[in-house]
């Protein structure tokens, strides 16, 4: 009896787990070529994948979590996936060139995800892409919620949404929808500790404070607002990762990067160097903010691949994304001070510091070879046996073919040469024999005549 009860309980648990798994899988829709028409029906977060792709397989459980996270009431975002090997026409329509490719589709609007592939990154991407580009804050409670959720966001302050400043702000927000958060509110909604000279105004909240846009000559234009937004779109001191490197480089500033190691104890040179750069970024904004973006990275290999050389850890490197040049400090990290770093950055800005790298033709050719060799080495390190077989077998076959062809040609030529020499020798011998016979006949004739 007890055994039967245990079996019933086990069956009930198994049934519950199956139902739960079906519910989880049900949050991710499997698409086909009918999606070309369905794309205009709501908001879609779509993973374009191939069944044989290892990256797609690793993303599968995360994608299920994303489907669950975006299934809350009022989300209006349908999470789906499409097999590009079966529906290649759909993949071509959305310009899919690799797997997995993640896109947010809203009718004719299509946004491609280039960031990280954690559940949080993907959910945040979908929420941003869904819009609206500018979200309205109608109470102080909403303002405090937004301030608690985001480390950096832009806020338009004004009552008239038809004014030219708001129209320019709206267009910029639509262009930078995936990069930053944009909000709007009335001045009376703001807390008393946040003040602006006059409305309308644009404010950025970051680094535990806020900064106000000041129009040149009091005539705000879209170009000046956009330039200010680009300059303020990142925290003063940010960690460089593979997902935000392109965004940081697009800021149009010199990148001052501390190459550090997080695993080292905080009493080391690493922590001292990080503190120095953070102090320069936060407390000397007036001096450095316009021309320099301060950052740090815990991956020296990424920097090595950028400059195609090797940097020490810890160290400071300054990159110019426009010219692809880089600058290195002459002093050791343990000897760097605020004064010496300020002097070094001034030389970089003025063009008097020693520059390495660049984007010349020789440098580009070198990069092609460097990336090829680096890729080959990385593949070999990950799969040494398979890579060795893939490289060695064709190499041996080609070598054998070349050896066979070369030796065959050599043998034929020698044989032909020997035959020709034999024929020539035989011809000479025959001619000599004939000449000898002729001479003998002539001698015999002379004797007979005498």
Residue 24 has pLDDT above 70, yes or no: no
Alpha helices in 232-337 (DSSP H): 245-249, 269-283, 285-288, 300-307
Candidate from 24-28, 101-105, 222-226, 253-257 with smallest mean pLDDT:
24-28
Name the pLDDT band for 47 (thresholds 50, 70, 90): very high
Residue 420 in this model has a pLDDT that exceeds 90: no
Q: What average pLDDT score do residues 431-450 get?
A: 54
Please report where in the chains the tokens 């994608």 appear, as a residue.
63
Q: Which CATH class is domain 237-360?
A: alpha beta
Report the alpha-carbon distance of residue 370 to residue 382 in Å, rounded.
18
Quick: pLDDT tens for 139-181: 999 999 999 989 999 999 998 878 899 999 999 999 999 889 9
Fold match, 21-130 / 237-360: yes
- Top pLDDT among 417 and 290 is at 290
As its CATH architecture, domain 21-130 has 3-Layer(aba) Sandwich (3.40)
What is the percentage of the chain residues whose pLDDT exceeds 70? 80
Q: 28 in helix, strand or coil?
A: strand
Taking phi over 0 as left and psi of -120 to 50 as alpha, with beta for the rest, 29 belongs to beta
Alpha carbons 23 and 183: distance in angstroms, whole number: 35
Where residue 431 falls among pLDDT bands split at 50, 70, 90?
A: low
Give how far Cα 85 sits from Cα of 30, 99, 210, 341, 449, Å.
Answer: 13, 11, 49, 54, 105
In this predicted structure, the answer to whether residue 441 has a pLDDT above a threshold of 60 is no
Question: Which of 93-97, 201-205, 300-304, 441-445 is least confident?
Answer: 441-445
> Of 211, 216, 229, 212, which Cα lies nearest the Cα of 172?
229
> Is the model more confident about 86 or about 25?
86
Specify the higher pLDDT residue, 448 or 239: 239
The whole-angstrom separation of Cα 344 and Cα 353 is: 7
**Measured distance CA(368)–CA(237) in Å, rounded:** 32
Write out pLDDT tens, residues 123-132.
Answer: 989 998 998 9
Give the H/E segment covering residue 293.
strand 292-297
Residue 357 CB: number of other CB atoms within 10 A? Answer: 19
For residue 117, the SS3 value is: coil
pLDDT greater at residue 210 or residue 243: 210
**Domain boundaries of the chain, sorted by first residue:** 21-130, 135-231, 237-360, 383-438
Q: What is the CA radius of gyration of the chain?
A: 37
295-337, pLDDT tens digit by residue? 999 988 889 888 888 888 999 999 999 898 999 998 888 899 9
The CATH superfamily assigned to 135-231 is Glutaredoxin (3.40.30.10)
- Residues with a catalytic annotation lie at 53, 56
133 or 18, greater pLDDT: 133
**What pLDDT score does 391 carry?**
64
* H-helix or E-strand spanning residue 431: helix 384-449
Per DSSP, the residues of 340-402 read HHHHHHHHHHHT-S--EE---HHHHHHHHHHHHHHHHHHHHHHSHHHHHHHHHHHHHHHHHHH
Q: Classify residue 313 by its DSSP letter.
A: S
Q: Is pLDDT above 60 for 446?
A: no
* CB atoms inside a 10 Å sphere around CB 213: 21
């Amino acid at each position: 009896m007890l055994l039967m009860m245990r079996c019933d309980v086990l069956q009930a648990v198994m049934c519950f787990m199956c139902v739960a798994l079906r519910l989880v899988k049900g949050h991710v829709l499997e698409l086909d070529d009918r999606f070309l028409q369905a794309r205009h029906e709501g908001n879609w977060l779509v993973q374009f994948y191939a069944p044989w792709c290892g990256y797609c397989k690793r993303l599968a459980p995360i994608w299920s979590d994303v489907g669950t996270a975006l299934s809350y009431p009022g989300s209006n975002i349908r999470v789906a996936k499409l097999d590009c090997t079966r529906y290649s026409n759909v993949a071509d329509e959305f310009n899919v060139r690799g797997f997995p490719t993640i896109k947010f589709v809203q009718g004719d609007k299509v946004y491609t995800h280039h960031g990280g592939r954690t559940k949080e990154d993907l959910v945040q991407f979908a929420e941003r892409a869904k819009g609206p580009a500018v979200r309205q804050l109608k109470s102080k409670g909403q303002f405090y919620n937004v301030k608690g959720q985001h480390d950096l966001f832009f806020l338009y302050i004004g009552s008239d949404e038809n004014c030219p400043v708001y129209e320019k702000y709206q267009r910029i927000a639509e262009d930078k929808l995936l990069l930053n958060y944009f909000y709007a509110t009335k001045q009376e909604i703001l807390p008393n500790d946040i003040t602006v000279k006059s409305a309308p105004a644009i404010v950025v909240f970051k680094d535990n404070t806020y900064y106000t846009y000041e129009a040149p000559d009091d005539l705000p234009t879209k170009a000046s607002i956009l330039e200010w937004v680009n300059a303020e779109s990142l925290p003063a001191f940010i960690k460089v990762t593979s997902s935000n490197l392109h965004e940081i480089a697009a800021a149009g500033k010199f990148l001052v990067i501390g190459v550090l190691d997080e695993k080292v104890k905080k009493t080391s040179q690493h922590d001292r160097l990080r503190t120095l750069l953070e102090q320069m970024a936060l407390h000397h904004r007036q001096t450095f903010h316009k021309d320099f973006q301060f950052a740090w990275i815990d991956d020296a290999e990424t920097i090595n691949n950028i400059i195609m050389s090797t940097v020490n850890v810890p160290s400071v490197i300054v990159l110019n994304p426009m010219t692809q040049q880089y600058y290195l400090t002459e002093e050791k990290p343990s000897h760097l001070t605020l004064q010496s770093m300020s002097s070094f950055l001034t030389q970089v800005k003025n063009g008097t510091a020693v520059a390495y790298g660049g984007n010349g033709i020789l440098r580009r050719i070198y990069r092609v070879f460097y990336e090829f060799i680096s890729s080959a080495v990385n593949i070999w390190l990950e799969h040494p046996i398979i890579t060795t077989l893939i490289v060695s077998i064709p190499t041996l076959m080609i070598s054998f073919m070349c050896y066979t062809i070369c030796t065959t040609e050599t043998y034929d030529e020698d044989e032909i040469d020997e035959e020709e020499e034999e024929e020539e020798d035989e011809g000479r011998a025959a001619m000599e024999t004939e000449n000898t016979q002729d001479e003998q006949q002539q001698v015999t004739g002379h004797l007979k005549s005498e």
